[in-house]
Structure 1
């Protein structure tokens, strides 16, 4: 199977796996325990916290470890709502947010919060004027994803963050798809919280991190929670966190080299689509590793199944959405509706992706299109 679904999950990095085994074998104490074994585990946890803070470009006092990016999004939003700067019950978010954010926002709507969801401009970004016009006197929170997971566009978080600061609005950003692919330090000063997830950058599944601005005075979601200074319940996964930090270091160190390689692979893929290129819609992307596209007249589900039959793993969108067989939220945010929205497929590249596999995938998609459409 040739794998082209790295935005859904990456294989575990070998060095990260070795660190996981070593930490699980030698640092097995509960990091909250007061004996020496617990102290050793807590020391490794503190070191990993400092590392992750450095990779993001924030204070280690704002880093909290979680069990996933989804949990991080949920808890970060809840924390910011307890620490809001003014009275109000209005939240701004995007139409194409990850389900962990959109489901949280919907739950808040049902609880009486007023929600404004913003569409994408044709370039795949939220229009700053739309965001500014959505701001009200009672707006207390905005949650805007940094990188779209389906077409790979980056939102203008710095500019949105400035607008939020001017209007006493706290800003959360889901950075699960961007960490390890772009430098976090430019946006970090402009958000009040952000999330990352280990398995998106070759770390283990079941571990993530949240940055929560230390200046925000928040309350624990579950009163009496002691782990991670009250941010979440449950014994901290020290081996997973240590392994994630190793994977993060490699991702950040190789960021520019990987982007250069992904640009070359992307161009190879698009060239291989030449026989049907004029008929396809390929969406612009800031991340060269993400290729979102449509082949007119063919549902994405059909293309995905056929590609799988030929030995290629691709996707019809975000992994937390595809099982629902609903139109891509990104397509809806772009104003693409009905059957056309269901034509969407996503191809994502990783460190293991080989040029010959990229060319072979392109030829296979041409074959699928000709067999089923042309």
Structure 2
């Protein structure tokens, strides 16, 4: 049985070139980047080179880039750090109902600390309305946090427009770009963004390392204490091997980005076309924005077949997919993103996320679509 991995939005396989780039820093060049001897200086050089590579790719100065343990830490650090630094100006924060839990749960914690959070709605495609963001702004608003591309349905948000409004009002603007890195061209030197979060394992890099962009004018309090690393904003012994891996993954992205995006778009379109051919558009309903979307994410509902049933059957057939839903006490909850989109129950309770990447082929699409159609037919007949 062929194993087909369609869950690249959750994590991606580490690229062989990334593994190769990391190995020497586990075995030969293992120095602590804070040490002053030659081994430490060598590690420091690797860390600096890695930061330079990522900074060049996203269009910022290396000094504006902070290495973290991943997207969740980057989101938390941006929200907690900005809130702490700006609380003398106010305690109101704006985000959307469709954010990643790394932002939503951080906002819930801030609410317990006396901050007020407005959760703006999204439309039926998962997109926020710029007018809703503007209407939610108050004199005491200090921070807006909106993700670039949604991790469940792939919808891209109007970041430029929101950032322009935030900057004109003196409000800090954070963007979770974990799914967008490499999928959307970005030049942070031209974007009205104060904080932006990234993660290596979404782009065929290693798990356990991410980055946070911090604009020169942005104020942020550290959340950890104990060292001078990362300009005292994120102390702790640096993960040099993973930084090298992150940089190599970015280099590969830079080299192959156009070809990769074209291939992902082809795979996604082929999956939609095949499922519509086999089941019909009414029985395989695509969720998310039709145009403003990431190329690698496809969220699709199969009315009459529960998400849990479909995922279980797909797994038995050797196909890895996801729901985007939280798992509580062994059962799936309906996705908060699809709830926020106010889709009918028939769609929210039958949604599956397929996400594509390295290793996927059109043959995989054909095989998976046939299996899905068989599962749908079998379950509906029952």
User: TM-score, normalised to structure 1's length?
Assistant: 0.95
CA distance in 1, matches of 2:357, 2:121: 29
Residue 200 of structure 2 corresponds to residue 198 of structure 1: yes
Displacement, 1:263?
1.9
Q: Which residue of 1 aligns with 2:297?
A: 290
The superposition leaves residues 191-220 of structure 1 with CA deviations (integer Å, 9 ceiling, x where unpaired) of 101111111000001111111112223322
Task: Assess if the C-alpha contact under 8 Å between 1:27 and 1:239 holds in 2.
Answer: no
CA distance in 2, matches of 1:82, 1:134: 21
Map of 1:1-374 to 2, 5 A cutoff? 1-84=3-86, 87-185=89-187, 189-273=191-275, 274-279=277-282, 280-283=284-287, 284=289, 286-317=293-324, 321-322=326-327, 325-336=332-343, 338=345, 340-374=347-381
Q: CA deviation at 1:231?
A: 2.1
* Counterpart Cα distance in 1 of 2:168 and 2:88: 13
Is the contact between residue 65 and residue 214 of structure 2 (CA under 8 Å) also seen in structure 1? Answer: yes
Q: Separation in 1 of the partners of 2:279 and 2:190?
A: 41
Q: Give the deviation of 1:25 after TM superposition.
A: 2.3
Q: Deviations over 1:77-117 (max 9, x none)?
A: 12222333961110000111111111100000111111111
| Structure-1 separation of matches of 2:354 and 2:136 | 33
Number of paired residues?
Answer: 372
**Deviation, structure 1 residue 188:** 6.0
Identify which range, 284-293 or 306-315, moves more after superposition: 284-293
Give the whole-Å Cα distance in 1 for the aligned partners of 2:190 and 2:19.
Answer: 28
What is the Cα-based RMSD across aligned positions, in Å? 1.8
Distance 1:126 1:282, change over 3 A: same
Which sits farther off after the overlay, 276-285 or 248-257?
276-285
Distance 2:170 2:95 in 1: 16
Deviates more, 1:38-47 or 1:223-232: 223-232
Greater alpha carbon shift after TM alignment, 198-207 vs 222-231:
222-231
Deviation, 1:71, is: 0.9
Query: After the TM superposition, which of the residue ranges 157-166 and 223-232 deviates more from structure 2?
Result: 223-232
Contact 2:175 2:193 in 1 (8 A): yes
Cα distance in 1, alignment partners of residues 151 and 327 from structure 2: 12
